[in-house]
């Protein structure tokens, strides 16, 4: 399993950040690998909501179906699956005097022949983590002020 984690501060309240991240349709704005992320069910975003995610990482395209597995007062957990991988993205959010402290952790488990690529995937995901921190901070800064 490959695990990458980053902790950083963004300028918004925890409630606002969690609401934004729980709607994984926003991933194209903050996730460097996401090309497109489309909701595949209807109604308000809630635990059990699902998205079709198209990503391109290190020149390789992949598609996963993500499910919002957990959404609490301090964390969001999204799990993506396809035939060769499971990606679990856990974002813990805590109040900070500057806004919110985020700890973003992505655990990727490869299956079958794709397991052979695990060492290279770790290297690539570490590099993406730097971009993720920058893009997620910029996306949160650009959110319209909604009073939350």
- Give pLDDT tens digits for 66-123: 999 999 999 999 999 999 889 999 999 999 999 999 999 999 887 764 554 555 565 5
Residues β-bridged to residue 76:
71, 91
Query: Residue 60 in 3-state DSSP?
Result: strand
- CA-nearest of 16, 36, 27, 28 to 102 is 16
Residues β-bridged to residue 110:
85
The pLDDT assigned to 9 comes to 95
- CA-nearest of 54, 51, 95 to 69 is 51
The pLDDT assigned to 128 comes to 65
Task: Tell me the whole-structure pTM to 2 decimals.
Answer: 0.86
Give the integer Cα–Cα distance in Å for 63 and 34.
10
- Average pLDDT over the chain reads 87
CB count in 10 Å sphere of residue 75: 17
CATH of domain 2-141: 3.30.530.20
Going by pLDDT thresholds of 50, 70 and 90, the confidence category of residue 148 is very low
CB count in 10 Å sphere of residue 57: 17
The pLDDT assigned to 126 comes to 59
Query: Residue 27 in 3-state DSSP?
Result: helix
The pLDDT assigned to 74 comes to 97
């Amino acid at each position: 399993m490959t695990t990458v984690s980053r902790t950083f501060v963004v300028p918004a309240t925890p409630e606002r950040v969690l609401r934004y991240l729980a709607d994984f349709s926003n991933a194209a704005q903050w996730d460097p690998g996401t090309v497109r992320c489309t909701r595949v069910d209807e109604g308000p975003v809630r635990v059990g909501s699902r998205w079709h995610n198209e990503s391109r990482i290190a020149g390789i395209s992949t598609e996963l179906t993500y499910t919002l597995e957990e959404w609490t007062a301090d964390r969001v957990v999204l799990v993506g699956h396809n035939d060769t991988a499971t990606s679990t993205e856990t974002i813990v959010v805590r109040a900070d005097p500057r806004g919110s402290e985020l700890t973003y952790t992505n655990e990727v488990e490869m299956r079958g022949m794709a397991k052979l690529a695990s060492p290279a995937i770790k290297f690539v995901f570490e590099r993406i983590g730097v971009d993720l921190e920058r893009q997620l901070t910029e996306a949160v800064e650009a959110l319209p002020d909604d009073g939350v």
